[in-house]
Structure 1
Amino acid sequence: MKVEAWIFIITGIFLLLVSPAYWVITGDWTGTSALTMATLLALMVALYLGFHAAKMEPRPEDRKDAEIADGAGELGFFPPYSWWPLWCGSTLAVIVFGTAMQEWWLVILGFTLGAVALSGWIFEYYRGEHAH
C-alpha cells in the first residue's frame, strides 16, 4: 500500500502546484475551487493509505522477495450479475423526472419503488440463487 500512498502524494503535490497557477492564469474561482478540493481529497487518500501501510503486513505484491504462490488462494467475494442497480437507477430517474416536472405524486411513487429496489439490492444475497 506504500506505492498507492506515494501515487496519491505525487498527485496531491501536482495539484497543489497547479491550483495557484490556474488561478493566476484564468482568475476563475470555480476551477480553482475544484482543483483545491481535488488536492485536499488526494492528500486525504494518501494520508489514509499511509497510515494503513504502516500498520499492516506487506501484501505479496508489495514484497520484493515474494513468490507467485504467496498470492494464491481466495481473493474475496465478487458478486455475480445483479438486476437491482438497474431498478435503483430507474427509480432515481423517476424521482428526478417527477421533481423536474413538479409532479409530486411521481416523486412519492419513485421513493416508494426506490425503497423496494434498494431493499432488494441490499438483501439479494440472503435468498435465491446466490444466497449465502
Structure 2
Amino acid sequence: MRLESNVFWIPSIFFFLAGTLYGIFTSWSEWVGIVAILLTGGMFIMIGIYFKMLEKRHGRRPEDDEDAHISELAGSQGVYAPWSWWPLVIALGSALAFVAMAVGWWIMVPAVIIGSVGLVGWVFEFSTGRHAH
C-alpha cells in the first residue's frame, strides 16, 4: 500500500503548490480557482491517508514483495453481492436526478426517494434473505 499512498501524496503536494502560486499570480483576487485547486489537493491527501491507514492495518501484501509468488494471492479476494439488482435502482434514481436538472426540479423528489431506497437496499442486502449472515 506504500506505492498507492505515494501515488496520492505526491500530487497533493503539487496541487497545494499550484494553488498557492495561482493565488500569488492572481493577487489573491480570484478565489474560486484558488479554493478549487486547494480542495483538489485536500481530496488527494484524504485518499493518501486512507491508503496509509490500510497499510498499517494490513501490513505488506504479496503485491509489495518483488520475490512473491502468484500462489500467495490465491483464495478469497473479498465479498461481492451476487445477483444484485440494487445498483439498477440507484442508477434509475441518478438518471431521474439528472433529468430533474434539465427538465424541472419537481422530478428531484421521486429521484431522491428512489435513489435512497436503492442505496438502503444495497447496503442491507446481506442482512435479509438468501445471503443473510
Contact kept, 8 Å, 2:62 with 2:72, in 1: the verdict is yes
- Spell out, residue by residue over 1:48-81, the C-alpha distance to the aligned partner (whole angstroms, 9 max, x if none): 3224424532000011221111111111123345
- Spell out, residue by residue over 1:88-132, the C-alpha distance to the aligned partner (whole angstroms, 9 max, x if none): 34345269739x74659x83x55555554444333444335xx35
1:41 aligns with 2:25: no
- Spell out, residue by residue over 1:17-43, the C-alpha distance to the aligned partner (whole angstroms, 9 max, x if none): 211223344553212101101112222
Residue 19 of structure 2 is matched in structure 1 by: 19
Equivalent residue letter for 2:2: K
Give the TM-score taking structure 2 as reference length.
0.69
1:6 aligns with 2:6: yes
Residue 30 of structure 2 is matched in structure 1 by: 28
Is there any run of 5+ residues in structure 1 with no aligned partner, and where? none
Residue 62 of structure 1 is matched in structure 2 by: 64
Is there any run of 5+ residues in structure 2 with no aligned partner, and where? none
Check 1:97–1:59 CA distance in 2 against 1; reply closer, same or farther (3 A cut). same
Q: Number of aligned pairs?
A: 127
Check 1:95–1:63 CA distance in 2 against 1; reply closer, same or farther (3 A cut). closer
Equivalent residue letter for 1:97: A
- Cα distance in 2 between the residues matched to 1:96 and 1:14: 37
- Cα distance in 2 between the residues matched to 1:97 and 1:6: 40
Q: Work out which of the residue numbers 81, 100, 124 in structure 2 matches 1:97.
A: 100
Identity of aligned residues (%): 31
Larger radius of gyration: 1
Equivalent residue letter for 1:36: L
The Cα RMSD (Å) is 3.3
Residue 75 of structure 1 is matched in structure 2 by: 77
Contact kept, 8 Å, 1:88 with 1:117, in 2: the verdict is yes
